[in-house]
Amino acid sequence: MTVIIVLGMILAVITLLLISFVHVEIVFTDQLLLTIRYLFINYRVFPPQEQKKKRQKTTPPEKKEKEPEDKSGKLKELLKGRGLSGLLSLLGGLSRLAASSAKKLFSHLIIGRFFLSVRVAGEDAAETAVTYGRVCAAAYPAVSILVQAARCKRYEAHIFPDFNEKKTEICLQSRARIRLVFLMWIGLSTLIQGVKILKT
C-alpha cells in the first residue's frame, strides 16, 4: 500500500511538472530583452548575464582558417539586432518560424499579450514617408502571421508617421506561455525525424 501511495505521489508530481507552463517575455525598445520563466525559475536568455572575464595569457596571433558556416550565427545576429532594423528582423524571423519548421510549436503557444508601437520619424517628410511605408510592409504581415499561428488572446499593432520628430521610437512587448509537455513532445518528434533522415 505504501509503495502505491509513493508511486502515486511521484506520478502526480511528474504530471504537475509536465502540465506547468513555460513563460516567455519579450521586450524590445532599442535592443531585445528575452526572459524565460518556469515555475519559480527565471532565466534571462538575451542579453546574457555578464560573466567575470578570466585573465588570459597573451599569445601570438595565429592564422585563422576558414570555419564551416555556423547555423546558430543567423540566430545570434537576429537576437543582437538593434533599433528599427533589429525589430523588423526579429519580427520577420519569428514569422518565418511560425510559418515553417516551428509551426507545431506555435500552434500550442498562447500569447497573452502582444503590443507593438512604432512612431516613424526621419530627417525630412520624404524620408519619414518612405520609412513608414517600408515598416508597414514588413511589420504588419509578420504580426498577422504570428497571431494567426499562435493562440493569441490580445494584440495591438500601431505604426504611424511623425513628421515633427527626427528620431523613430519603437516598443514591443509580448508575453506568451506553452506547457512543458508540448515542448518535450515537439523536441522528441523532431529528434526522431532527424534520426530517420540520417538512416535513409
Q: 61 pLDDT exceeds 60?
A: no
Q: Percentage of the chain with pLDDT > 90?
A: 18
At residue 133, the 3 state secondary structure works out as helix
Angle at 83 between CA 167 and CA 42, to 5 degrees: 130
Average pLDDT over residues 106-131: 89
Q: Give 85's Cβ-side CA count (13 Å radius).
A: 4
pLDDT of residue 197: 59
Greater model confidence, 160 or 198: 160
Span 5-24, pLDDT tens digits: 888 888 988 888 888 899 99
Angle at 66 between CA 55 and CA 62, to 5 degrees: 40
Q: Percentage of the chain with pLDDT > 70?
A: 78
Greater model confidence, 159 or 55: 159
- Predicted model pTM: 0.74
97-113 exposure pattern, b = at least 16 Cβ within 10 A, e = fewer: bbeeebeebbebbebee
